[in-house]
Structure 1
């Protein structure tokens, strides 16, 4: 049933997988790929990150235990794992690993490295941070009977575990490196991936070259690559048009797409998909008056998502109105039910009148606060401007503060904000993955409301263990209702992905997530 749901969500994704010329041609070895990265990662550690900037920077250097087969998404395949089995009671996963794999420093890869990596993911020590701690909390023990076998024993059945093992965030680190310094991956790169690290020039680029000892025969095709940090959209588009970069793998707006198609014509490849990504409005309940549910709910009720989606979808990557699960996917709340929840009414006039009453009851008719946002033009800036205008219409004055990715994330992680534009950065439609964002802050530091809510935690646990799809959906919707009634945080809009590449770039695979397919192993240049 899990794979069936994944297959259904693939159909709903409507991914524009263009018939790839790469499938009809023999890949060419050699060449250097320059591509754009529209944000610079604050550090190198996949485990401690939730921004694509880290993956677009680090993925070529690392391998994972499992990964998604993108042409057959959401089918899962092995990466460092050669094969795997699941016990009859569904609580023991046994992985057989590839032999002869080496880290970039020459150290042989063994099952001990998988164990060290997942121990760090589920229970970080020595000052390390894992944003996947809650995700892997069901792991009771990890055993390594021999160098090419690793066994995971679970506390309970977890229908989402295989998807979790395929997460792109689970970069496999060297046990030797972690033993020396639990935080080594923040500043040191030593993986088993298709490319080895050359340099990181802050504010400029990251560079990698072919790993001549890569364990997948014949890969990678490229000699080298350079990821160029282009923080301004105009600079990225100009570089793409001029050929200084040949791709940007995150996504652009419809207006940017149209501009580039007009300028480049048939030299440009355009691929589109719905996106497993949304922007959130998060209220820090530790900062008065946002400890008052009436204030939080009033601000959510003032937002015209339905009208906003029409305008924002023309100028940004924001498009679909939805709850905590990607709209249109099998476990998402239908629109007829969604409109009954706070913040999703289509009668915006009535909703705003109720919002004003709530503010008056809370003694906050003259509310002023700062909205902290990321300075990415797409889609953070238009989203922030939109929110400021929406709240102005109920008499609330908002300062829109934008900053680079590193200080933005630092402020959010430390709790040094009142209200923030946050993001839910998913890599599939798995409900457990989507809902983990809203677990109590004590269980998941990615919950930027900083709320601890036992009701939400209990509903999360129930949906995780439920095998009946209809019952599971009921738990998911109950969690969503609780979340929105308490108004801790709420999706603003879901994104639509548009990726532009020069047609000389071959072998890259489109998907509904910009977190996937970043290792560049099969990318080649038809030049």
Structure 2
């Protein structure tokens, strides 16, 4: 559920989509703000929808895919037991008919829908679900290991019923069953050490046509899908690394929808195209390599964070569409604590006294060269840090190269974003503060027993009041240790042609959603 660089698609179900308010777009409509999910409606059948995306797909393995485009594709082809609603606030049955959490929160019983099949027509049973979770438990390359860790045992009761037993209370389990990484795999395709085909047989609304690893590929409608039939028969993806290039494709008709087009498009007059910037549960961040000098020193990390003018970053990188944020959680979270978002170079310089950067130092900053907001943010960061004697060298990279270096710890500073599809502690708090949960504490290398204990308290909170209290503890540790620097909330800025509006859109979950046929 953690999102890394660029964004996403519906988990296990076709989410209804009708653009903003479900109204026909005016020729030069430009929209900023969330979409009203109450206006979502079905659409007549459409043969093809062309989508321009920023990066290639490296994998659609549910336990490996984490780049935006990867998760977008996985979400459209993967079938999950539950599915998030358009606002990301509620999980509804997907492949499951029903689910029930025990009173103590330590077990969960699921009943599958009748007659489920994978896209190839073979039966999907509780044995496949159990095998999927067993793979997640043992697969060494599972980047979502922390999300599956509480599942101690899966008991198959019959072909349509199974029970999950947890090592602790797991109140967010049903919500998480709607996330793409929980897509159900075919038991017979799981090989030694958890190996699966590069294009596994799944059970979502679409099926991969050929190979998704090139610069262009397509998804076709899954005739065996258990949910509502999608209105679009075929979705064609084209990789266009440049944000302006993606927008140009929509304006010229080569694409119907473009993902991550850059916030500058919000203020443009675009006849026949509408632009949207929707709030999400995601933060943008400046990632520190906490194990690389001079960032091993918490005083240097805090000084860098204090020097950042997040208000200016919000204006330059997001045209003010996304609020500045110095806290760990997005402002849309019940645990949000944005903090002081203005720059304080004087205090930052005081913190640098006695450190390796007292008399100046140099840091390299990696970023995704296909991302407009990252390039704009980097320019402000470079200026801010120069004021405290820190020289920054900016290094744009391809998405895959960037995350390869992050995974190896081969960096000092890096831009990116992180978040979830819903407001659950199993996302940003868990992955960015708990090293044991399998994501290198959001690539920082940060390790803290105190932080892990605070996160565990949030993970087991059974009501909103307890969760708020737990989040307060998490926020206090984040402020004390400064493992990374949050910059702003994240918006999925996207554009759609008027004649395609309502067939596909991106809502609060940051998923690409496709309207059902009707």
TM tier relative to shorter chain: 0.7 to 0.9
The structure-2 alpha-carbon separation of the partners of 1:15 and 1:446, relative to structure 1 and needing over 3 Å to count, comes to farther
Q: Secondary structure at the match of 2:319?
A: helix
Q: Deviations over 1:79-108 (max 9, x none)?
A: 111111222333221111123222234432
Which residue matches 1:210? 221
Q: Secondary structure at the match of 1:504?
A: helix
- Mapped pair 1:288 → 2:293: yes
- Mapped pair 1:27 → 2:23: no
- Mapped pair 1:69 → 2:85: yes
Which residue matches 1:3? none
Q: Give the whole-Å Cα distance in 1 for the aligned partners of 2:479 and 2:318.
A: 24
The structure-2 alpha-carbon separation of the partners of 1:499 and 1:392, relative to structure 1 and needing over 3 Å to count, comes to same
Which residue matches 1:8? none
- Mapped pair 1:439 → 2:448: no
Contact 1:195 1:211 survives alignment (8 Å)? yes
Deviation at 1:373, TM superposition (A): 1.3
Which residue matches 1:124? 138
Q: Deviations over 1:54-75 (max 9, x none)?
A: 11222222111111121x6412
- Mapped pair 1:327 → 2:331: yes
Q: Secondary structure at the match of 1:386?
A: helix
Structure 1 portions without partners, runs of 5+ = 1-12
- Mapped pair 1:197 → 2:192: no
TM-score, normalising length from structure 1? 0.85
- Mapped pair 1:481 → 2:476: yes
1:10-89 pair list within 5 angstroms:
15-17=34-36, 20=39, 23=41, 27-70=43-86, 73-89=88-104
Q: Deviations over 1:487-508 (max 9, x none)?
A: 2112111123443222332343
Deviation at 1:425, TM superposition (A): 2.9
Q: Secondary structure at the match of 1:417?
A: coil
Which residue matches 1:399? 393
Which residue matches 1:298? 303
Equivalences, count: 484
Which residue matches 1:160? 172
Contact 2:275 2:496 survives alignment (8 Å)? yes
Q: Give the whole-Å Cα distance in 2 for the aligned partners of 1:309 and 1:521.
A: 32
Q: Secondary structure at the match of 1:320?
A: coil
Which among 81, 104, 119 is matched to residue 104 of structure 1? 119
- Mapped pair 1:312 → 2:317: yes
Q: Deviations over 1:295-349 (max 9, x none)?
A: 211111111113432333328x65432412221542212x5xx23xxxx4x4x3x
The structure-2 alpha-carbon separation of the partners of 1:433 and 1:442, relative to structure 1 and needing over 3 Å to count, comes to closer
Which residue matches 2:494? 499
Cα RMSD between the aligned structures?
A: 2.5
Contact 1:371 1:419 survives alignment (8 Å)? yes
Which residue matches 2:264? 255
Which residue matches 1:376? 370
- Mapped pair 1:274 → 2:279: yes
Q: Secondary structure at the match of 1:424?
A: strand
Contact 1:509 1:517 survives alignment (8 Å)? yes
The structure-2 alpha-carbon separation of the partners of 1:147 and 1:90, relative to structure 1 and needing over 3 Å to count, comes to same
Which residue matches 1:239? 249
Structure 2 portions without partners, runs of 5+ = 1-31
Q: Secondary structure at the match of 1:42?
A: coil
Contact 1:46 1:54 survives alignment (8 Å)? no
Which residue matches 1:134? 146
Instruction: Name the structure where helix makes up a greater proportion of residues.
Output: 1
TM-score, normalising length from structure 2? 0.86
Q: Secondary structure at the match of 1:400?
A: strand
